[in-house]
């Protein structure tokens, strides 16, 4: 445990110094995006990985948070930063209502219902033009010219999110969540109210996703329904972050977020200009192949199957050493 | 009044094709107990095959059925054999691994289509697509009628297959109780491969029939995957008769929604129906009819 604490301190320290070592706006931007995905992925994982309720609709909460921030600026005339404060509770409220409707469904059917709700929210944002601005979206002025304040805020929010999930999982709630994931009927027969704890998990999960959405609005200064309510770019990406990093582990989604964002940027910039231009168009294809590969060979993600990867690695090293030994 | 009848007619004709999509999905759901989130993407692949056949070899879109259905059967069977069946043995925390896998497959299919054909809209318009038949003031669009007719024939064929042949009976047995079917000597793995292929072939037929009245782009798959599961939930999970009714209900409600509410909300109609069914009629229409 001490060793792990020491490692965490090292990671946090490295994150704090990072902008002073790497003085590049572009790399800061990439890391800020990764932090946003750390929040979304970890939140998704709390609901899906720990509580067993696979959501395909986390774009709803992200979008609610982003629109809360955007509408604070365009409709209320206050700073969009209020959205970071109100976005979370707003997303939680919507999350609670959605849970009330959808938690009567189990397993894949819950997943389907969340897709449907997500699509409804996207369509509402598109059609209700007088309120949301429709397809044109919402455009703001960025508050800061430098990326530094955004970087530290994103770091702070993602660490808070990880800490909150860690604390929730260490309390009795966490045991109830896992009990529901393992066997809902057994948990209920032991007196755990599945509905109450599933709702609780969803409320925490949607809260942080909403905060991430509100921060995204402030940072990118532009949203439209196709971006923030997108099934493919947000909801499914949240799932990918979770499963690639490791479902049901605390550090899986944060790691997954960095893997996904770095991979996405590598391909989007065609390996930083080294590869031919068409490479930039295949990043979604690479994600798809990655999903297939991970599910087939590393069903519990990089963190969950870490021992397996390490064993593979050491075996390879051994065989390399063995052949090298033979050669000499 | 004639506007209303016209709307219902158009919706019903569309519903025939929707039913075909839904039956494919419902078969897969019934036997494998998974939601195939690559369903619309398989349809998109079939549509591109039809498009290529028409554009470069000048094959009539309806004739292309002979190519697209077997092609997608093979593709579907391969997917089940090499990507989905192995997952049964994999130990994972989430039971929805197979569903997530179909998401990955859907993404790969969409992106491959985008690489080959780019994102622009394509369409197939043989000369007869603009012909309409009239019964009084009500117009019957010819390609929609042909599509509806072929969809009905395919559905009847499927029912005869499921009810009369040994393979069909094995499919139904596996859907009802996989363990019992295994004990009675049904090779469940092979039946699953076959069923996924069959589901893919049916949705391929729907895609090919749809192409002369619709347009085509790589992201179309996702939208139709959503429609497919709305139909399946509407009909009651795993019920083929329910899928037919669900398809027609969705077709008519979309059509009514587009005429009387707003064109932009047409796609929301399906989603709202879906949620209403989940809340007020869990179990879908199957529950009302007890079929």
Q: What does the pLDDT profile of chain B (291 residues) look like in tens digits?
A: 788 888 898 899 999 999 999 999 988 888 888 888 899 999 999 999 999 999 899 888 889 999 999 999 999 999 999 988 888 777 666 767 788 889 889 999 999 998 888 888 988 888 777 788 887 788 888 888 888 999 999 999 998 998 898 888 888 888 888 888 888 888 888 888 999 999 999 999 999 999 988 889 988 888 898 888 888 888 877 778 888 888 999 999 988 888 888 777 777 788 888 878 877 776 666 666 554
By C-alpha distance, which of A85, A234, A59, A93 is closest to A153? Answer: A85
Phi-psi region of A301 (alpha: psi -120 to 50; beta: other; left: phi over 0): left
Cβ contact, residue pair A120, B101, below 8 Å? no
Q: What is the pLDDT of residue A109?
A: 77
Cβ contact, residue pair B226, A105, below 8 Å? no
Q: For chain B, give me the number of helices (H) and strands (E)?
A: 12, 2
Cβ A117 vs Cβ B275: under 8 Å:
yes
Residue A281 has its nearest CB partner, among B87, B115, B267, at B115
Q: Does domain A25-325 have CATH number 1.10.1060?
A: no
Chain B residues touching residue A295 (CB < 8 angstroms): 87, 90, 92, 97, 100-101, 104
Cβ A118 vs Cβ A231: under 8 Å:
yes
What backbone torsions phi and psi does residue B96 show, to the nearest 5 degrees? -90, 20
Domains of chain A, residue spans: 25-325
Size of interface A-B (CB pairs under 8 A): 131
Give the CATH number, domain containing residue B99. Answer: 1.10.3470
Q: What is the extent of the structural domain holding B149?
A: 2-289
Question: A1: distance to nearest CA of chain B, Å?
Answer: 24
Distance of CA B107 to the CA centre of its chain: 18
Chain A residues touching residue B282 (CB < 8 angstroms): 104-105
Q: What is the pLDDT of residue A327?
A: 46
The single residue listed with the structure tokens 């704090």 is A16
Chain A residues touching residue B95 (CB < 8 angstroms): 52, 107
Phi-psi region of B284 (alpha: psi -120 to 50; beta: other; left: phi over 0): left
Q: What is the pLDDT of residue B29?
A: 85
Q: What is the pLDDT of residue A324?
A: 61
Cβ contact, residue pair B271, A299, below 8 Å? no
Q: What is the pLDDT of residue B283?
A: 67
Chain A residues touching residue B222 (CB < 8 angstroms): 231-232
Q: How far apart, in whole angstroms, are the C-alpha atoms of residue A167 and residue A171?
A: 6
Question: A324: distance to nearest CA of chain B, Å?
Answer: 35
Q: How far apart, in whole angstroms, are the C-alpha atoms of residue B176 and residue B229?
A: 20
For residue B272, with 0-12 CB atoms within 10 Å meaning exposed, 13-18 middle and 19 or more buried, which class applies?
A: middle
B263 touches chain A (CB under 8 A): no
Cβ contact, residue pair A296, B94, below 8 Å? no
Q: How far apart, in whole angstroms, are the C-alpha atoms of residue B41 and residue B160?
A: 27
By C-alpha distance, which of B242, B221, B234 is closest to B271? Answer: B234
Q: What is the pLDDT of residue A328?
A: 43
A148 touches chain B (CB under 8 A): no
By C-alpha distance, which of B95, B75, B93, B74 is closest to B32? Answer: B95
A109 touches chain B (CB under 8 A): yes
Cβ A76 vs Cβ B254: under 8 Å:
no
Q: How far apart, in whole angstroms, are the C-alpha atoms of residue B283 and residue B234?
A: 8
Q: How far apart, in whole angstroms, are the C-alpha atoms of residue B76 and residue B39?
A: 10
Give every residue of chain A whose pLDDT is below 70, as ranges.
1-3, 317, 320-328
Number of structural domains found in chain B: 1
Each residue's pLDDT tens digit, A213-269: 999 999 988 888 888 888 888 888 898 899 888 888 888 999 999 998 988 888 887
Cβ contact, residue pair A111, B96, below 8 Å? yes
Q: What is the pLDDT of residue B189?
A: 85
Give this prediction's pTM.
Answer: 0.85
For residue A189, with 0-12 CB atoms within 10 Å meaning exposed, 13-18 middle and 19 or more buried, which class applies?
A: exposed
Q: How far apart, in whole angstroms, are the C-alpha atoms of residue B266 and residue B11?
A: 12
Q: How far apart, in whole angstroms, are the C-alpha atoms of residue A193 and residue A212?
A: 29
């Amino acid at each position: 445990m001490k060793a792990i604490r020491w490692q965490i301190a090292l990671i946090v320290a490295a994150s704090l110094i990072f902008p002073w070592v790497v003085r590049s706006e572009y790399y800061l931007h990439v890391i800020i995006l990764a932090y946003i995905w750390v929040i979304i992925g970890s939140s998704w994982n709390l609901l899906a990985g720990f509580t067993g309720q696979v959501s395909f609709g986390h774009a709803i909460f992200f979008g609610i948070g982003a629109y809360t921030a955007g509408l604070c600026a365009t409709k209320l005339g206050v700073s969009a930063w209020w959205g970071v404060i109100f976005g979370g509770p707003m997303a939680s409220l919507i999350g609670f209502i959605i849970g009330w409707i959808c938690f009567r469904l189990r397993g894949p059917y819950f997943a389907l219902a969340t897709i449907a709700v997500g699509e409804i929210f996207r369509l509402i944002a598109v059609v209700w033009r007088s309120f949301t601005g429709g397809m044109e979206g919402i455009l703001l002025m960025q508050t800061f010219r430098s990326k530094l304040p955004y970087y530290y805020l994103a770091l702070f929010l993602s660490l808070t999110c990880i800490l909150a999930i860690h604390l929730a999982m260490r309390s009795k709630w966490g045991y109830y969540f896992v009990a529901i994931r393992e066997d809902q009927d057994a948990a209920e027969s032991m007196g755990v109210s599945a509905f109450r704890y599933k709702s609780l998990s969803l409320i925490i999960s949607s809260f942080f996703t909403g905060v991430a959405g509100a921060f995204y609005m402030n940072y990118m200064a532009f949203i439209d329904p196709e971006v923030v309510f997108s099934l493919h770019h947000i909801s499914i990406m949240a799932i990918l972050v979770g499963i690639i990093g490791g479902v049901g582990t605390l550090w899986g989604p944060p790691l997954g977020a960095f893997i996904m964002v770095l991979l996405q940027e590598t391909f989007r910039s065609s390996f930083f200009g080294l590869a031919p231009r068409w490479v930039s168009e295949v990043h979604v294809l690479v994600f798809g192949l990655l999903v297939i590969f991970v599910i087939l060979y590393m069903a519990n993600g990089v963190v969950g199957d870490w021992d397996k990867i390490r064993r593979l690695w050491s075996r390879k090293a051994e065989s390399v050493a063995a052949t090298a030994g033979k050669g000499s | 009044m004639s506007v209303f009848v016209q709307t219902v007619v158009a919706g019903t004709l569309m519903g025939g094709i929707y039913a075909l999509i839904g039956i494919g999905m419902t078969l897969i759901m019934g036997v494998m107990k998974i939601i195939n989130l690559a369903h619309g993407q398989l349809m998109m692949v079939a549509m591109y095959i039809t498009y290529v056949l028409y554009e470069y070899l000048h094959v009539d879109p309806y004739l292309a059925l002979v190519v697209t259905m077997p092609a997608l059967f093979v593709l579907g069977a391969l997917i089940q054999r090499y990507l989905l069946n192995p997952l049964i043995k994999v130990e994972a925390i989430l039971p929805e691994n197979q569903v997530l896998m179909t998401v990955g497959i859907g993404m790969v299919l969409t992106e491959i289509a985008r690489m080959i054909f780019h994102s622009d809209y394509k369409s197939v318009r043989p000369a007869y697509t603009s012909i309409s038949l009239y019964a009084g003031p009500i117009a019957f669009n010819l390609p929609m009628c042909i599509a509806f007719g072929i969809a009905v024939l395919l559905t009847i064929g499927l029912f005869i297959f499921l009810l009369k042949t040994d393979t069909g009976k094995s499919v139904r047995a596996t859907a009802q109780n996989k363990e019992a079917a295994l004990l009675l000597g049904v090779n469940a793995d092979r039946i699953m491969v076959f069923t996924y292929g069959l589901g893919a072939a049916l949705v391929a037929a729907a895609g090919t029939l749809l192409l002369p009245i619709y347009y085509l782009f790589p992201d179309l798959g996702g939208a139709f995957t959503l429609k497919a599961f709305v139909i399946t939930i509407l009909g009651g999970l795993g019920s083929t008769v329910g899928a037919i009714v669900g398809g027609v209900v969705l077709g008519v409600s979309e059509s009514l929604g587009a005429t009387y509410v707003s064109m932009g909300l047409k796609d929301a109609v399906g989603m709202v129906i879906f949620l209403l069914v989940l809340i007020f009629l869990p179990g879908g229409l199957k529950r009302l009819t007890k079929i």
